[in-house]
Structures are given as structure tokens and as C-alpha cells.
Chains A and B, each alone.
Chain A
């Protein structure tokens, strides 16, 4: 149990520090055209990577192909149909659960 609490404490401090560094270092400045253009693209770049990561992550290094791909396809379809976010999430979970059950 001590291990668990060490992990919780360390991640609490670590997360807070990570989130504070950027705002402390770059607070209140205005960005030039170039850096603003780069900064505006950080979100899509990281989110694109997170989609891939959550779909294929194998826990450690490596790729794992499983029913999550069906969930990804289901979510994509729901987004094309312009369903609300909760429906997108539910379709993905249902599709993945069904694919595992079959």
C-alpha cells in the first residue's frame, strides 16, 4: 500500500509542476506571428498522437491490434453523423464491447 501512496504523491507534485512550467516561463507575453502559428498547432498534433496511442497502445512499447479499432471506426462514424459527444463515446464503447463478445 505504501507504494500506491508514493505513486499518488509523486504524480500529484509532478503533474502540478509540468502544468506550471509553461505559464511561469512564458506568462503574459504576446507571441510573434511565427511562434503563434506553431503554438496554434500544438493541440491538433498532440491530439492526433493521443488517438493513435489510445487505439494501439500495448501497455509498454509496441503496438497492439484489438477491438479498440472497431471502437475507433464507430466513433468516426458517429462524428460523421454529427452525433453529440456522449453518443460518440457510447457508440465506441458499444462497438468495442460487441466486437469482444463476438
Chain B
């Protein structure tokens, strides 16, 4: 196993994500408050810390759906942590419980930052980069909950496009590593686009991870 960077390097690598994540947190807080009250959105951002899953569950609650439907929507968006966890797992040392704890640091940005592109992950970057992002997510949620009534409709501000831009920036960074990475990104996007018209939310994203099988061609 290659040597990993220290936590401080990870925190530094995570800093560019602070402001965008605050923006995402604000839009979650603004949208969540009318449905979930002032406290639950903040508790959720602290404990769950999974933006796409929280938005998915919230959209069910906003539409008047029940707990089971909201949990299902959130968990489908969460299902991508399975293949991502399988990817990161081999790079995490220690006993099973210690590894499970370190796995909690897997979020989209830290996953990309820590990926060395050869199938291994830099543990220091993974753990470090998540710290400022987690703090930003919670801070943004608090701002959104408190300032929501003043800010107005997040859609009018275009805040729902923040996720689009966020993921586009991440995928461009990843795809710049190799031609196969570009092919996987395009393949994953194509699979998602093909499945979205009829598959429930989240499913297209898990199935899209199959585009990574392009890696079998190299070896």
C-alpha cells in the first residue's frame, strides 16, 4: 500500500469545495424548512451528510409522500456508496470497525480528490477533504433554515443548477486522467439517460457504475 498524505493536505484539497457546498446546503435548508421544520434539516445534514440523498427524500416529503417512500428515494441515491465503498475499501487499513468508520468519509468530492486513478485511494486526502466539506454542508443548511423566509424560492435563484455544475466539475477532473476514464464517464452518462425515463430515481446511477467494466479491456 502506498504512503498516504496527511490530514492537513486533505483539508487543503477540500477547501475549493467549501463555498459550493455552502450554496448547496443553503438551498437544502431553504427547501426543507417549510416541510421539516427548523431543527430536523440541520440534524439531518449533520447525521446523514449525503446531499443527493437528502434532496431525494425531501422531494418526496414536499410532494406529500410518506416516510417509506422518502426513505426509499434517499436510499436509492445512497446506493452508489456501495460500489464507491468497494472501490475505496482496499485502500483502508485497520480492523473492520476502524475501516467502517473511515468509510464514513466517502463523499463524492473526497472520493474524486483521493482517487489516484490507478484503483488505489489516498486515505489522508479522503479523510481530510471531507472535514471542511462536512462543516460547509451543515453551515449552509443552518443559513438556509434561518434565512429561508428572506431568500425566497431557491429555484428562481438557479440554486438547483449548483449540483449540476458541481458534478460536471468533478467528472471533468476525473475524466482528464485517461481516455478510458472519458469513455467511462460518457458510458455512465449514456446508461443514466437511457434508464431515467422509466427507472426509479437512483437506479440509473447504480447501473451506470457498470461502465467501469471498460477497465477490463486494459489488463
| Chain A interface residues toward B at CB < 8 A | 1, 3-8, 10-12, 14-16, 18-57, 59-63, 67-68, 70-72, 74-76, 78-79, 84-86, 88-89, 91-101
Contact = CB atoms under 8 A, between A and B. Distances in A.
A22 B86 contact: yes
Chain A interface, >50% SS class: helix
B78 interface: yes
B164 A49 contact: no
A14 B70 CA distance: 13
B67 interface: yes
A22 B85 contact: yes
Contact of B103 (A19, A53, A92): A19
Contact of A51 (B99, B167, B211): B167
Main secondary structure of the interface of B (DSSP, over half): helix
B interface residue count range (under 10 / 10 to 19 / 20 to 34 / 35 or more) = 35 or more
Given A19-B103, A48-B186, A52-B193, A37 B108 contact: no
A68 B89 contact: no
Contacts of B54: 11
Contact of B53 (A3, A15, A101): A15
Given A22-B103, A23-B89, A59 B158 contact: no
Given A14-B74, A41-B181, A49-B192, 9 more contacts: A8-B43, A15-B74, A18-B82, A22-B88, A36-B119, A40-B215, A45-B208, A56-B193, A86-B19
A53 B204 CA distance: 8
Contacts of A55: 164
Given A49-B204, A49-B205, A38 B196 contact: no
A35 B20 contact: no
B65 to A, nearest CB: 9
Interface stretch (B4-12, B56-64, B142-150): B56-64
A41 B89 CA distance: 15
Interface in B177-218: 177, 180-182, 184-189, 191-193, 196-201, 204-205, 208-216, 218
B81 A27 contact: no
B50 interface: yes
A91 B174 CA distance: 21
